[in-house]
Amino acid sequence: MKHITICILFLCMAFVGHAQKPTLHFSSDGEFKIVQFTDLHYKWGKKASNKAIECMEEVLDAEKPDFVMITGDLVYSASVAKILPILFACISERQIPFAVVFGNHDEQFDCTLSEIYDIISAMPYNIQPDRNGVFSPDYALPVMSSDGYRTAAVFYCMDSHARPKLEGIGGYDWFRFDQINWYREQSKSFTKNNGGTPLPSLAFFHIPLPEYALAEADGKSPLLGSKGEEVSCPRLNSGMFTAIKEQGDVIAAFCGHDHDNDFAVMYKDILLAYGRFSGGNTIYNHLRPNGARVIVLKENQKTFDTWVRLRGGEIINQITFPDSFQKGKKKAK
């Protein structure tokens, strides 16, 4: 109870001083570092849940990112409203901007996705926009240039839902056509404002696209990292990857969902990558220890470095996109 009281008190105090949401921007050296946590699966009253927070604290202190992205499955029990301030206090305390997209388990307990969104978006250093009445909104986060005068990159953060609503279709849900149209319109607007040139962009969501499975199966590009289970993607393909390819801005997509996968693979010149399972032993996981993916963007370039930092300090799967996926280039360490 003491820990809960301290966290809530901290958050209440921080609300007063941080009403304005921070702006993302490249550093003076032209880099922007992201830490991706995924599948925290925090379970109220379960001691193993503390491993998720311990992992987050360790990675944040080691990497000192400019931004934190959490790609779903935040909780794994009821008492969600109590869990969330505890779960994300370690980010707010370090004054790091962060955002969240939902996973398929987040809607299963005692808070709706709208309620969860509102709780999180009110936390210090969260930069998600207001819902404006939308149940579970998709949103775009611009990253400003190092000089602060223009948008230099964009992060598309999208809800990949849970189970399909159509009868007779099992597995997991897909991006709806209105979501794909939303992405297209956002992308067109950013491109127009950039003089007709697409901005180097990233996409974040929870459930992998069907193209993750296609890329893994065709074997044309190296699969760098661990594959411990089949790709759990939708059984129907609504065309999100095609839209990304047509718009020409997203150079990489990052998901979670499959706890025993942390691989990255290039497909049609776009990187499709998993984060690293970041939770404790509240649900299945065989990639141990837990950890996080780190992504370092380069300003005005369609290239980036990425690696996985494990709890305990080891760094694995160091990759430079696209070089690590091209013949004759250096592969992941």
Task: Extract the tokens encoding 280.
Answer: 């404790």
Q: What is the pLDDT of residue 242?
A: 98
Amino acid at 211: E
pTM of the model: 0.93
Q: What is the pLDDT of residue 326?
A: 85
Task: Give the span between the Cα atoms of 238 and 173, in whole angstroms.
Answer: 10
Which amino acid makes up residue 126? N
Question: Residue 201: its pLDDT value, please?
Answer: 98
What confidence score (pLDDT) does residue 4 get? 47
Parts of the chain with a pLDDT under 70: 1-19, 327-333
pLDDT of 20 reads 80
Handedness of CA 224, 226, 229, 231 (dihedral sign): negative
Which pLDDT score, from 0 to 100, does residue 193 have? 97
How, if at all, do strands 151-157 and 201-204 pair? parallel
Q: What is the predicted pLDDT for the residue at 329?
A: 55
Q: State how far Cα 299 lies from the chain centre.
A: 20
Q: Which amino acid is at 231?
A: V
Strands 139-144 and 151-157: antiparallel
User: Residue 291: phi, psi to the nearest 5?
Assistant: -175, -150
The pLDDT value given to residue 5 = 43
Note the pLDDT of residue 215: 96
Alpha-helical regions (H) of the chain: 2-17, 50-63, 80-93, 113-121, 177-193, 210-218, 240-247
Beta-sheet pairing, 67-71 with 98-101 = parallel
